[in-house]
Amino acid sequence: MVNDMSQLFWMCSIAGFLVFIIGIYGLLVTFNLIRAIIGLELLTKSVTLFLILAGYVTGQTGLAQALAITLIVIEVVVIAIAVGIVLCVFRHNRTIDAQLLRNIKG
Amino acid sequence: MLSLFLLLPFLGIIALNLPVKGRRDAAAFLYTLSLSIGQAIVVLFNPGDFWAKPDFWGGFFNLGLYADNLTFVMLLSIGIVVSTAVCVGWQTISDHRQRLNFYNLVLIALIGMNGTVMLTDIFSLYVFLEVTAISSFILIAFHRDLNALEGAFKYIVLSALATVLMLTSIAALLLFSGGTSFAAVSAAVKSNSGNVIVIIAVSLFICGLFIKGGLVPFHGWLPAAYSAAPAAVSILLAGIVTKVAGIYVLIRLVRDVFGPISEISSVLMLVGTFSIIVGALAALKQDNFKKILAYSSISQVGYIVLGLGCGSPLGIAGAIFHLFNHSIFKSLLFVNSAAVEKQTGSTDITKMGGLGSRMPYSNATNLIAIFSTSGIPPMAGFWSKLVIIMALWQMGHFTYAAIAILVSVITLAYLLAIQRKVFFGILPQELKHIKEAGIWIVIPAVTLAIIIIGTGLCFPLLFKSFLMPVSSFFK
């Protein structure tokens, strides 16, 4: 039983790290705004997985569930606003290429 | 009764969106204005036993709110800056529907900020930070022009990264603590002080807060967001949103929860100094009014973090006092940029000149704000900078103190460049018809100027009664 738990833990943490790295990669290489949003979403999903794992390892599953559900709700709102902004950019530019979003120079 | 700070804006949002005929935007304006001014006044006269009373609705709406002196300082600045932004919003946004949307979003931001400064739980803190951030995303992109959309998208991406860092840190802290309340996290950090995972978790959280507060390695979104946002929103963002979301949480966590860790203190001082220098130097070569103010904001936030990193009670008192002063004088500078932008239709300072004779109130108040920002006595900004530099000197950080003094001179240089190019000099032919901006811009500008002078002149009184108690809370 203990062996099963540790196997599950390692599988989940490796999967979480993989999703995290894919998210970072997706955010860094792309010029497509929708893909950048997908990258952000993947990052948040991996963090949700970490939270659940932390709760699982320390036996606080109830707390971890509450945190994960709150996190998912908030994330949906953020992503909805981000998609709305991308939609407005598309109406202006007729493209969702991030290279055209470089008007403001530092 | 602290939950009134959250419930009143919330009930207001519901009431303002009921399908009733009539001037709902005027009602929203009056409600938001009276709420924010009321908040400032109530906090200023601080009926101590009133807050300690339990809510009359019992435990139904129980978030574990808690208020100490630092919270009251933040609630005061939130009230002042929000009421300023509300006034300027009435003058600069003309469409009725847009105005109603603006006030609803401001109320949401008010809930988020009030919640952030009163909470005692690290996860609820994240929730309320996101509430604030979400309303400011929409506020930045309010007029849906391309620059604003760009600023908003940059802010969303970096804010989401900050969130990811903070949540990873919460997940790692959850491995050691039995919950997410400040007390549990604080106990866990103290009992595992040498643990690598705890140190990584703490530094990840602080990195997230650096992004939210716009400190130098992570400041990319800040000038874009500030300069592209509508005038009233810039006041709200620069005056209070990033200060609450980044700097207040940083002060609260570093002193209250994570405790004094010497590595963290030295990182704070280093980042603060870099922010001071880079912000000031970058502001020198800009010629957009709002962008200069944005970089100046980075530089001033650097002073706050430097005072915090210094670690002595005097340094923290100076940091909190500078936080308050910064929210006042930076709002005033942005109010004046709003006045200039509204009357001339541009923020490019190379095309202006001589507006001082046409806009006497903006001219005078801008000069007061500049003196306060660059630390000229007897304005309020002088005292807070003096306290920070004295604290640095006491703790033996002579290099940092010298840099802080030298950059004050650069601050004066770039701000006086604004004053000279916009308000002094010869009036160009095409700006002959300019008049003073409307009453709702002049009133907040004059009020903020009076607050700056008043705080500066009353500083010897405030020092013992107001400033040192703020820092003495931290043990």
**Dihedral over Cα of B222, B135, A103, B232: its sign:** negative
Beta bridge partners of A97: A32
**Phi-psi category of B288—alpha, beta or left, where left has phi over 0 and alpha has psi -120 to 50?**
beta
pLDDT band at B138 (very low <50, low <70, confident <90, very high): very high
Mean of the per-residue pLDDT values for chain B? 88
pLDDT (average), residues B85-102: 91
Closest CA in chain A for residue B180: A63
Q: Give the number of other CB atoms < 10 A from CB of residue A34.
A: 13
Contacts of A89 in chain B (CB under 8 A): 146, 149-150, 153
User: What percent of chain B shows pLDDT beyond 90?
Assistant: 54
Q: Determine the pLDDT at residue A95.
A: 82
Q: What is the pLDDT of residue B333?
A: 94
Print pLDDT tens along chain A (106 aa).
456 777 888 888 899 999 999 999 988 898 889 999 999 999 999 999 999 999 988 888 899 999 999 999 999 999 999 999 999 999 988 888 877 777 665 4
Longest Cα–Cα distance in chain A? 58
> B386-439: per-residue pLDDT in tens?
999 999 999 889 999 999 999 999 999 999 988 998 888 888 888 788 888 889
CB pair distance less than 8 Å for B167 and A71: yes
Q: What is the pLDDT of residue B468?
A: 66
Measured between CB atoms, which of A47, A88, A106 is closest to B164? A47
Collapse the DSSP code of A61 into the 3-class scheme (helix H, G, I; strand E, B; otherwise coil) and give the result.
helix
Query: Are the CB atoms for B28 and B67 separated by under 8 Å?
Result: no
pLDDT for B154-165, tens place per residue?
999 999 999 999
**What pLDDT is attached to residue B473?**
46
Mean pLDDT of B166-179: 90
Compare CB distances from A36 to B133, B157, B170 and report the shortest one's residue.
B157
Tokens of B465: 């009664």
Q: What are phi and psi of B121, to 5 degrees?
A: -140, 130
Express each pLDDT in B264-290 by its tens digit: 889 999 999 999 999 999 999 888 899
Whole-angstrom Cα distance, residue A30 to residue A99? Answer: 10
Which residues neighbour B422 within 8 Å (Cβ) at sequence distance 6 or greater?
B289, B340, B349, B352, B353, B355, B366
DSSP B34-89: HHHHHHHHHHHH--HHHHHSPPTTGGGG-------HHHHHHHHHHHHHHHHHHHHH
- Disruptive mutation site among B129, B143, B174, B211 for chain A (greatest number of A CBs within 10 Å): B174
Report the distance separating Cα A86 and Cα A84, nearest Å: 5
**Distance between CA atoms of B454 and B450, rounded to whole angstroms?**
6
Most B CBs within 10 A among A20, A42, A67, A69, hence the mutation to make, goes to A67
DSSP code for B217: G
* Three-state helix/strand/coil letters over B311-348: CCHHHHHHHHHHHHHHHHHHHHHHHHHHHHHHHHCCCE
pLDDT of amino acid B335: 94
Residue listed under structure tokens 């705890």: B198
Q: Is residue B70 pLDDT above 80, yes or no?
A: yes
Cα B385 to Cα B307: distance, rounded to the nearest angstrom: 9
User: Would you state the pLDDT for residue A96?
Assistant: 82
CA–CA gap between residue B278 and residue B298 (Å, rounded):
8
Residue B163: predicted pLDDT: 94
Q: Residues A33, A98: contact at Cβ < 8 Å? A: yes
pLDDT greater than 90 at residue B136: yes
Residues of A in contact with B288 (CB under 8 A): none
Where residue B54 falls among pLDDT bands split at 50, 70, 90? low
Yes or no, beta carbons of B160 and A33 under 8 Å apart: no
**Average pLDDT rounded to a whole number, residues B331-338:** 93
Mean pLDDT calculated for residue range B92-119? 92
Is the backbone peptide bond immediately before B378 cis, with ω within 30 degrees of 0? Answer: yes
- Collapsed DSSP state (helix, strand, coil) of residue B180: coil
- Check: CB of residue A64 under 8 Å from CB of residue A52: yes
CA closest to A105 among chain B residues: B224
Contacts of B163 in chain A (CB under 8 A): 44, 78
Average pLDDT over residues B312-341: 91
A87 CB within 8 Å of a chain B CB = no
Q: Which residue of A has its CA nearest to B174?
A: A54
pLDDT score of B48 more than 70: no
Q: Which helix (H) or strand (E) holds A4?
A: helix A2-29
Of the partner residues A67, A74, A101, the one whose CB lies closest to the CB of residue B153: A101
Q: Give the pair of three-digit tokens for residue B259.
A: 């405790």
Using CA atoms, how far apart are residues B306 and B302, in angstroms rounded to an integer? Answer: 6
The pLDDT assigned to B337 comes to: 92
Residue B22 has a pLDDT of 81
- Distance CA(B438)–CA(B92), nearest Å, equals 9
What pLDDT is recorded for position B126?
92
| Residues B134, A77: C-beta atoms closer than 8 Å | yes
State the average pLDDT over residues B129-140: 94
Q: Do B156 and A78 touch (CB under 8 A)?
A: yes
Please identify, in words, the CATH class of the domain defined by A2-100: mainly alpha
What residues contact B466, with CB distance under 8 A and at least 6 apart?
Answer: none
Please check the confidence at residue B373 and state whether its pLDDT lies above 50: yes
How many beta-carbon pairs under 8 angstroms link A with B? Answer: 104
pLDDT of B59 higher than 80: no
Share of chain B above pLDDT 70, in %: 94
**What mean pLDDT is predicted for residues B248-265?**
86
Evaluate the CA torsion angle B127, B46, B320, B447 in order and state its sign: positive
Task: Dump pLDDT digits (tens) for B16-44.
Answer: 988 888 888 899 999 999 999 999 998 88
CB B216 within 8 A of CB B302: yes
pLDDT at B474: 41
| Least CB–CB distance from A82: residue in B156, B163, B167 | B156
- B284-298, B340-354, B395-409, range with the lowest pLDDT: B340-354
Does B57 score more than 80 pLDDT? no
Q: How confident is the model at residue B475 (pLDDT cuts 50, 70, 90)?
A: very low
Q: Give the residue from B142, B146, B158 with the most A CB atoms within 10 Å of its CB, the best one to mutate.
A: B146
From chain B, the residues in CB contact with A78 under 8 A are 130, 133-134, 137, 156, 160, 163
Which amino acid is residue B247, in one-letter code? I
Q: Do B174 and A101 touch (CB under 8 A)?
A: no
Q: Chain B residues within 8 A (CB-CB) of chain A?
A: 123, 127, 130, 133-134, 137-138, 141, 144, 146-147, 149-153, 156-157, 160-161, 163-164, 167-168, 170-172, 174-175, 178-180, 220, 223-224, 227-228, 282
Return d(Cα A48, Cα A68) in angstroms, integer. Answer: 6
Name every chain B residue with its beta carbon within 8 A of the beta carbon of A74: 127, 130
Task: Give me B157's structure tokens.
Answer: 């991406």
> Of B47-56, B62-71, B186-195, B346-355, which range is least confident?
B47-56
**How far apart are the C-alpha atoms of B75 and B78, rounded to whole Å?**
5
Give start and end residues of each alpha helix (H) in B395-458: 398-418, 439-457
Q: How confident is the model at residue B47 (pLDDT cuts 50, 70, 90)?
A: low
